[in-house]
A and B are shown apart, each in its own frame.
Chain A
Amino acid sequence: MNFWQICLNILSTYGQSFLLGIRMTLLISLSGTLIGLLIGLMVGGFRAVTLDYTASTAAKILKKIFDIITKIYIDIFRGTPMMVQAVFLYFALLNVIHWDKLTAAIFVISINTGAYMAEIIRSGIQAVDKGQTEAARSLGMSNAQTMMEVVLPQAIINAFPSIGNEFIVNIKDSSVLMIISISDLMFQAKSIAGTTYHFEQTYFVTAMIYFVLTKTASVILNFIEKKMNNKTVSLPQSVTDPKNMTLANNGED
């Protein structure tokens, strides 16, 4: 049998195992991305808030503490490998909360993604024109209302490509969670390879499956992105330099 025949053979014999693995991979990466997005919205949202002089001293102190804690969280989770985070947290907390591996895996990928999402959301918020905030505040909207109604909706649209990218990264990177024996695609691949001894072919098939998953996800995300942009397309407009305007208009009586 040549290489391709073995690949097909593996795929047909172990199709069921691959499917289970795909299901687990998608479950972990999708829930990790969504929970991570929620964490990111909260952490990144609060981090981007700048309190003006109208805020109370207590609020300013709380904000400072929040900023320091979240900065540590973001730095640690972005600065260490998720594989290490998974093993450490799973075993460290096993005796405390006796959790199962799936919960641990989703927990780890969620807070890991959350750290990245927080920065994505924060920069998305900072990309929203300051005038939007000023207009909302001038109408009497509070800091929180301005954030929820005006800034965050625009920030999410700004950040959508990066948010989608996190999902694609998670499909691939969830493979490291097999370190705590999560039966995801990578875990299945390893056990199939161990049974058949066709390492090359098994991992080739596995790579192809990962590729199809990420490619499909990226096509879907691009489609959504296009739909969002269609709704918000701007017509071309000229921008006139205000300095020229005064001269052009004050001439005649």
Chain B
Amino acid sequence: MTDQNIVEIRNIHKRFGDLEVLKGVDFDVRQQEVICLIGKSGSGKSTLLRCINLLEKPDDGEIRVFGEDILHIRNVDAYRAKVGMCFQQFNLFNNMNVLKNCMISQERVLKRPASEAREKALYYLNKVGMSEFIHADSRNLSGGQKQRVAIARALCMDPKLMLFDEPTSALDPEMVGEVLNVMKQLAEEGLTMIIVTHEMNFAREVADRVVFMDQGVIEEQGSPEKIFLNPLSPRTAEFLARSIH
């Protein structure tokens, strides 16, 4: 792990109508760090994650990623191409097969020639164990398979940072493991990842740092041992008591 911060968030606020979802969040991520964001639904985890790749724009505050002030950059598309994102609902492109799903953004955004895009797609599909399914219609896959393809699709863009928004929450229990294993492997390879998750065991095992959010602020953060074994805040303790039993 290096000391260089690749994400620096200062005092961001976000409201949806009357509801203030983020109430001044400060948050840093170092290179190669794996962060698990935990907390109740509605605590602002997903919104924070979505602010990082600008799917939501914070109302106030500052976000620097890779040293760039991303709230004031011109080319948002070029920035997003450097940040991978996986969604709870996978969001594979329904009008394309598995291989094409992994190739399209390489071809259109990075302007890679088809042969190179294909090679890269095959490499990552193989890595997530989906190489047998390259010609499958993306709608015919199981949830776990879809999420693995979605991870491969994001990796094809050579992201320097990966965001996961509850990647296993929409999966049947028996499929959670296959997705978490892929993510664990990526963590071991040193990819910087921010993961919103309800999988406490996974967070304990994989995270370098666990961040507990509550009511739009970061209530507590620290190493998994610290958060899970010796939480300082009563709210953290209460949340964990409810989640782990």
Which chain A residues have a beta carbon within 8 Å of chain B's beta carbons? Answer: 52-54, 129, 131-132, 134-142, 145, 149-150, 153-154, 157, 231-235, 237-240, 242, 245-246, 248-253
Q: Name 22 A/B residue pairs within 8 A (Cβ), A-sorted.
A: A54-B54, A129-B91, A131-B87, A132-B91, A134-B55, A135-B93, A139-B80, A139-B81, A139-B105, A140-B78, A141-B105, A141-B108, A142-B77, A150-B104, A154-B95, A234-B139, A235-B140, A239-B170, A242-B88, A242-B198, A248-B173, A249-B173
Number of A-B contacts (CB under 8 A): 119
Classify chain B: how many residues form its interface, as a range: 35 or more
Does B57 belong to the interface (CB within 8 Å)?
yes
Question: Is there a chain A Cβ closer than 8 Å to B169's Cβ?
Answer: yes
Known: A141-B77, A232-B137, A232-B139. Is A136-B93 also a contact (CB below 8 A)? yes
Q: Which residues of A contact B81 (CB under 8 A)?
A: 139-140
B170 partner residues in chain A, CB cutoff 8 A: 239-240, 242
B36 at interface by CB-CB < 8 Å: no
- Distance (whole angstroms) from the CB of B244 to the closest CB of chain A: 5
Task: Give Cα A136 to B168, complex, Å.
Answer: 20
Query: Are B95 and A150 touching (Cβ within 8 A)?
Result: yes
Query: A250–B77 contact, CB under 8 A?
Result: no
Known A-B contacts A145-B108, A249-B176, A250-B243; A140 and B157 likewise in contact (beta carbons under 8 Å): yes
Q: Is the pair A253, B95 in contact by a Cβ cutoff of 8 Å?
A: no
Contacts of A145 in B (CB 8 A): 108-109
Bound-state Cα–Cα, A119 to B93, Å: 24
Q: Is the CB of B200 within 8 A of A157?
A: no
Q: Is B172 engaged at the interface, CB distance under 8 Å to the other chain?
A: yes
A245–B198 touching, CB < 8 Å: yes
Residues of A within 8 A of B99 (CB): none
Q: Which residues of A contact B142 (CB under 8 A)?
A: 237
User: Once the chains bind, are A139 and B109 in contact (CB under 8 Å)?
Assistant: yes
Given contacts A135-B87, A139-B105, contact A150 B93 (CB under 8 A): yes
Query: Does chain A have a CB within 8 A of B166?
Result: yes
Ranked 7 nearest A-B pairs via Cβ: A140-B81, A135-B91, A139-B105, A131-B91, A242-B169, A246-B198, A138-B85
Main secondary structure of the interface of B (DSSP, over half): loop
| Bitwise interface map of B from 146 to 184 toward A, beta carbon under 8 Å scored 1, else 0 | 000010011001000000001011111100100000000
B243: chain A residues at CB < 8 Å are 246, 250
- Judge whether A140 and B169 touch: CB under 8 Å: no
Min CB–CB distance A236 → chain B (angstroms): 11
Known contacts A131-B87, A142-B77; is-contact A153 B95 (Cβ 8 Å): yes
A242 touches which of B87, B93, B105, B166 (Cβ 8 Å) = B166
For residue A52, which residues in chain B have a CB less than 8 angstroms away from its CB?
57
Residues from chain A with a CB closer than 8 A to the CB of B93 are: 132, 135-136, 149-150
User: B94, B137, B140: which has the most chain A beta carbons within 10 Å?
Assistant: B94
Query: Which residues of chain B have C-beta atoms less than 8 A from A232's C-beta?
Result: 94, 137, 139
B222 CB within 8 Å of chain A: no
Instruction: State whether the Cβ of B76 lies closer than 8 Å to any Cβ in chain A.
Output: yes
Distance between Cα atoms of A233 and B200 in the complex (Å): 36
Contact A141-B176, Cβ < 8 Å, known A129-B91, A246-B243, A250-B200: no
Report A-chain residues with C-beta under 8 Å of the C-beta of B153: 139
